[in-house]
Amino acid sequence: MSEVLMSRLSWPEYARRIAGGAVVFLPVGALEQHGPHLPLGVDAMLSTDVAVGVAQRVGGVVAAPLNYGYKSQARCGGGQCFPGTTSLDAQTLISFVQDVIRELVRHGARNIVLVDGHYENQWFLTEACELAWRELGASTPELRCMRTEYWDFCGIDVLDPMFPGGFPGFALEHAALIETSMMLHLHPELVDLSLLPDDGPAEFPVYDMFPQTGHGVPPSGVLSSARGAKAEYGAVIFETVCKGLAAAVGEAFKAG
């Protein structure tokens, strides 16, 4: 399989691929606690893995990932109260992504996919795309940007058999079965199943309080049980996501 990581390509090879119309994927994650059994960089790792998997299918290029994301929120990431969680302000994230889009367009890229691996990022990535189009659309009307959260390509028909107690929803799946299974499949050396907590599922009120106190967040930071996570599940989820996103990219950026 040919190299797809932009950081590992020479500039002439990168230029050749861009001139050929390659889709450019920008993985965006976060540096955020993922319980005692997973590393802090899960979100960026998994979004990059998915971007690579899809780029290999469609002949794309994967830009260097953004390893920082918007502030962790208690009800979907455990919040800002854990050591290691290192977050950006909204405007910083928006400006960073807008800058990268501008540079990719300057290189000649016209089809760009933002692959989000951090729940809290989504609206700020949307804003970055909107602002980039406002700035560049008149001079580059053929520019198209897609923003997606990779997990949306894994439907309940795939997940149901993995959750005999019922799927808790993606917001509570932080550091739980899906991410743990994917990490077991893709980065098993970084998973310590001996440290799996028994916390969760977390129960939160339907509102947020500031300043954040961590109220309602399990001590481990894991919002739903990761018990039952398997590398085999991770392989199925990864393949399903890559196949679905590759099809979506083919449809969204098809000629004409």
Q: Which one from 37, 43, 49, 127 is the annotated catalytic residue?
A: 43
Is the predicted pLDDT of residue 242 greater than 90, yes or no?
A: yes
111-116 vs 61-62, strand pairing mode: unpaired
Residues forming a β-bridge with 87: none
Burial readout 202-225 (b: 16 or more C-beta within 10 A, e: otherwise)? bebeeeeeeebeeeebbebbbbbb
| Residue 34 appears among annotated catalytic residues | yes
Average pLDDT, rounded, for the chain: 96
Instruction: Find out whether 115 and 28 touch, Cβ atoms under 8 Å.
Output: yes
| pLDDT > 70 in the chain, percent | 99
Is residue 120 annotated as a catalytic residue, yes or no? yes
> What are the extents of the domains in the chain?
6-252
Out of 120, 127, 173, 199, the active site residue is: 120
46-88 pLDDT, tens per residue? 999 999 999 999 999 999 999 999 999 999 999 999 999 999 9
Per-residue pLDDT, averaged over 161-180, amounts to: 93
Pick from 127, 132, 62: which is nearest to 102 by CA? 132
Catalytic site residue 179?
Answer: yes
| Marked catalytic residue, from 118, 149, 173, 185 | 118
Among this protein's residues, is 189 annotated catalytic?
A: no
- Sign, CA dihedral 193-159-200-207, equals positive
pLDDT band at 255 (very low <50, low <70, confident <90, very high): low
Lowest-pLDDT choice from 3-12, 30-39, 247-256: 247-256
pLDDT for the residue 200: 72
205-213 contact pairs (CB < 8 A, 24+)? 208/73, 208/74, 208/75, 212/74, 212/79, 212/80, 212/81, 213/81
pLDDT of 256 above 50: no
Confidence of residue 215 (pLDDT cuts 50, 70, 90): confident
| CATH number for domain 6-252, candidates 3.40.50.300, 3.40.50.1100, 3.40.50.10310, 2.60.40.10 | 3.40.50.10310
- The per-residue pLDDT for 1 is 47
Whole-number Å distance between alpha carbons of 26 and 113: 6
Q: How far apart are CA 118 and CA 220, in angstroms?
A: 18
| Banded model confidence at residue 143, pLDDT cuts 50, 70, 90 | very high
Tell me how far apart the alpha carbons of residues 198 and 64 are, in angstroms, rounded to a whole number.
Answer: 35
For the residues 218-228, what does the mean pLDDT come to?
94
Under DSSP, the state recorded for 38 is: S
Looking at 37, 127, 173, 174, which residue is catalytic?
174
Residue 118 a catalytic site member: yes
Catalytic residue among 149, 179, 185, 199: 179
